[in-house]
Amino acid sequence: MISKTMKKKLLSVLLCTTMISTMLVGCGSKSAETPAAGTTEAGTEADASAADTAGSDEAAEIYMFISSPEYADAINELIAAYQEVKPNVVINYETTQNDYPTLLKAKLNSGECPDIFSSTSGKEIGTYLDYSYNLADQPLAGAMTDSVKSVMMSGDEVHGLSIKGNYFGILYNKGLFEEVGIAEFPQTMADLEAACEKLSAAGYTPFTTGFAEWWVYKHCFQTFLDAAGKDDVEGLVKKFAAGEAKLSDYPEIYDDFFSFIDLAVKYGDAKPLEADLSTEDAAFASGTVGMMLGQGAWVEADILKINPDIQIGFDGYPVNDDAANCKIIGGSDQALRVNKDSKALQPTLDFLNWWYTSDYGKTWFKDVAGVIPPISDAEAPDMEVVKQGSALEASEGTATLSITYSTDSFHQAFGEIMQSYVAGTIDKDAACEQIESKWVELEGAE
C-alpha cells in the first residue's frame, strides 16, 4: 500500500494516452509503475458505461494534487484502469504530505487551483468552500456511506469524497505481548506503563512513535481531546479556538496526554524525532517493537510485506485510570474536492463518478488500496486492523473523530509544537501556551 521512501517526497505521476510515466521529485523516491490490477479489456469495457455520464470521448487533461502519498501506488492503478476506459483523458497526479496545506494554499493564491485537491474533512470543508464544487447531485454522492457523507457536507451540499474510511488506534504485536505475559491490551495508563516495563525487561522496545511526522501527534491527541470534551467535543474545540478555554483546565489533556507522550519517549525509539513512517514500519515489522503509534489500517500491507508472520493486534489509546476512555476512533478524515471553476469539470466528474460506481471502482478499495470502502456497495478488505476495528466498534463503539473539528493548518502547527516539546526545547506549559495561541490564530476567525 505504501512505498517506504515515499512518505516525505513529492510524487508526480503523469499518465499519457499510450503509456504511464512516473516522475518523482526528491532523491531516493520509489516510483509506482504497476499496471492496474484486474484491468483486462473485457473488464474495462464492462465499466465503460459508468464513465460515460457526459457521453463524450473528447480529449481532456485533469490535474490531481492531493495528500496521502501512502495511496500513491493504488491511485496509480486506479488512473491506469480509467485510462483504458477513457484513453483521451490525461490525469496528471501529484502528491505530498508534510507541506501539503502550505503548497495547496500557494497554488490557490497564484490562481492555479487543481481540478482535484484534498483537505481534512469536517471543518476544513468550509475553509475551501469558495473553490469547491457541490457534488450533491452526482452519482458518487448517492454511493457514499452516511458516516462518510456527514463529514463532507456544508449544509445540504456535498463538497468532498473520500479515498477511504479509517480506524485510528494503536497497533501492537500480539506475539510479543503473549511472550512477555501481557494477556490483553492495556486499557488504562497504569496498565500501559506496566506493559512497557515488561516489554523493556524482556529486551524489546515498547513503542515506535513516528514523532518525526507532524500528523502522528493529531492521531494520538484526539482520544485525549475526546475524553476531555466528553459529550460535546466539537463545543470544546470551538472554545479553544475562541480563546475561551485553557488546556490546563482539562486534566485529560494537560496531565494525561503529556504523560502519554512522555511515556512514549521514555520507552520508544532511540531518536524519536528521526522516526518517520518508514522507520515505524520497519521497526514494528522487525518483531522487536511492541506498539506502533499514530497509524491505522493503511500501514498493515507494508508491515506484512516485510514480515508476513507478524501477529497484528489493534486497540485504542489508554487515557487515564478510566478504561472506558480507551476506544478506537472511526471515520473518514480526508476529503477530495473538485475545483468548481475547473476547465475540465465534466471530465473530472466523470472520472470520480466512475471511481465510486463502476465495478472496478467498487473492488479497488478492497483489492488494490486495501482500505475500508467509503461507499455502501463494496466489501471491506481482509485485514486485521479492519476486522478488529469493526469488532471493537460493534462491541464498544468508537470515540469521536475530533481531528475533523480543526484544520490541517492547526494540526501541522500543533505537531511542530509537540516536536519541540519532545526535543526538550520547551516545557509543558510553554507547549500549552503555544497550542492555545495557534488555535486562536488559525481557527478563531473562521
Helix, strand, coil share (%) of the chain residues, nearest 5 = 50, 15, 35
DSSP three-state, residue 99: coil
Residues 364, 50: contact at Cβ < 8 Å?
A: no
Average pLDDT (375-380) is 89
The full set of domains in the chain, from first to last, is 10-164+333-375 (3.40.190.10), 166-331+387-443 (3.40.190.10)
The predicted pLDDT at position 29 comes to: 31
| End-to-end Cα, the chain, rounded Å | 35
At which residue does the C-alpha cell 493548518 appear?
409
The predicted pLDDT at position 38 comes to: 33
Give the C-alpha separation, 237 to 226, whole Å.
10
Joined grid coordinates for residue 40: 483486462
Whether residue 396 has pLDDT greater than 90: yes
Tell me the whole-structure pTM to 2 decimals.
0.79
CA proximity to 234, closest of 164, 150, 293, 168:
150
Q: Is 174 exposed, middle or buried (0-12, 13-18, 19+ CB in 10 A)?
A: middle
Q: How confident is the model at residue 56 (pLDDT cuts 50, 70, 90)?
A: low
Q: How many CB atoms lie within 10 A of CB 242?
A: 12
- For 241-292, how does the pLDDT look when each residue is reduced to its tens digit (9 = 90+)? 999 999 999 999 999 999 999 999 999 999 999 999 999 999 999 999 999 9
Q: How confident is the model at residue 331 (pLDDT cuts 50, 70, 90)?
A: confident
Average pLDDT (211-230) is 96
Q: How confident is the model at residue 445 (pLDDT cuts 50, 70, 90)?
A: low
The one-letter code for the residue type at 178 is E
One-character DSSP codes across 129-164: GGGB---TTSHHHHHB-HHHHHTSEETTEE--B-S-
Average pLDDT (348-355) is 98
- For 126-177, how does the pLDDT look when each residue is reduced to its tens digit (9 = 90+)? 999 999 999 999 999 999 998 899 999 999 999 999 998 889 999 999 999 9
Beta bridge partners of residue 375, listed in sequence order: 144
Q: What is the dihedral of CA 220, 223, 225, 229, to 10 degrees?
A: 170
Residues 389, 169: contact at Cβ < 8 Å?
A: yes
The predicted pLDDT at position 49 comes to: 42
DSSP three-state, residue 263: helix
